Amino acid sequence: EYNAAFATAFIEKDKNVLVKAYTEQSVFMPEHSRQRTSKKAIEAFYEQWLAQAEIASYEKSIVEVQDFGNYILEIGNFTENLIVATSNAFSYSGKYAVLWKKPLKNQHLTIASEIWGSASHFDDKNIPDIDDAAISPTKEYISSDKLTLEVKKRNNVIKKLVQNRQGAEHAKLFMPDAMYLTYYTPILSGEKKITTYFTEHEKPGTLQIEQISIQTSRIIKANKAIIEFGFYNVDWRDGDSHGNVKGKSINVWKRNKNGELMLFRQIVNHD
C-alpha cells in the first residue's frame, strides 16, 4: 500500500505524501548523492528531484521481506521512467532496500533507512543533478562497546582483502544464503553468484587500491540481526587512470554457527 501511494505521489509531485514515512532519524542513501539524515533533508532532496524531472511512471516490485523482530527489511526492484531537461526519456531501473521500524501500538511503520542503485551503468545526465553543497560529510560512529568494535574489526578484514585484491576470500564473509546489492548490477543472490562477482571484481591485475577507508555511521541491534550503516572512500589507480570513489551501504550482519559475524544482506551505492 505504501509503495503504491508513494508511486502516485511521485508522479503527481505530492511532496507531503512522499515524505510522510520518514522521521528526523531516517537515514537516506540516494544513488550518486550524499547520505542525508532528517525529514527536512530528505524533503529537500525530493524538491530538487521533482523540480528537474517529469516522472511518467514509477513502480516497485518486492523481492523479499525479512522480519528482524523490531525492524523489517524490504528488498525489491524499481523502475522510474522520467525525463530531465538535459536528456531524452530514460528508464532508470535498479534495486532498492528499505529498513522499516515497527511501530508502537496505533502508529504507522516508519523508515529507518533507505537506499537504492541502478542495475547497470548509466549517464548522470539522465537523472536530476542534485546539489549536495548543504549536506555535511557523514561522521564515523565512535563507541567502545564490544559489538561496535567487532563490526569494525570485520570491516578492517574487508578493507585488507579489497586492497590486496582477494575477491574470493572477500566473498567468504557472506552467508551462503546472502544477498548482495552493489552498484550497477542486478541483485546477486546466493553463494555462487556472490563468489563469481567478487572473484572477477577484485582480481589481481593492474588496478591498485592506493587508499581505502570503510567506516560505520550507526549500528542498530535488531532482535534478529545487526544492522550497520556504513560509508567508504577509495583512491584507485590503473596505469595512467586514477580516481576517487565515495559511497555508502546498509550492512545486515548475522552470526554463523561459530558465532562469527557474517554478511546476510549488503546494499551499496556510490555517492
- Asked whether the beta carbons of 5 and 90 are under 8 A apart, the reply is no
Give residue-wise pLDDT tens across range 2-17: 999 999 999 999 999 9
Cell of 252: 545486515
Q: Quick one: which of 45, 40, 7 has its CA closest to 26?
A: 40
Contacts (Cβ under 8 Å, ≥6 apart) of 164 = none
Strand partners, 88: none
Rg (CA), the chain: 19
Predicted local distance difference test score (pLDDT) of residue 104: 81
Average pLDDT over residues 199-211: 96
Q: What is the pTM of this model?
A: 0.96
Average pLDDT over residues 160-174: 97
Predicted local distance difference test score (pLDDT) of residue 4: 97
Predicted local distance difference test score (pLDDT) of residue 107: 78
Q: Quick one: which of 159, 167, 227, 214 has its CA closest to 194?
A: 167
Distance CA 147, CA 170 (A): 21
Average pLDDT over residues 163-189: 98
Predicted local distance difference test score (pLDDT) of residue 87: 82
Pairing relationship of beta strands 207-221 and 22-29 according to DSSP bridges: unpaired
The percent of residues above 90 in pLDDT, for the chain, comes to: 96
Distance CA 249, CA 27 (A): 11
Distance of CA 187 to the CA centre of its chain: 12
Predicted local distance difference test score (pLDDT) of residue 86: 77
- Asked if pLDDT for residue 229 goes beyond 80, the answer is yes
- Asked whether the beta carbons of 219 and 226 are under 8 A apart, the reply is yes
Give residue-wise pLDDT tens across range 38-74: 999 999 999 999 999 999 999 999 999 999 999 999 9
Q: What is the mean pLDDT of the chain?
A: 96
Predicted local distance difference test score (pLDDT) of residue 106: 72
Predicted local distance difference test score (pLDDT) of residue 120: 98
Distance CA 25, CA 191 (A): 33
Q: Quick one: which of 257, 234, 228 has its CA closest to 247?
A: 234
- Asked if pLDDT for residue 105 goes beyond 80, the answer is no
Average pLDDT over residues 100-116: 91
Q: Nearest 5°: phi and psi at 230?
A: -120, 165
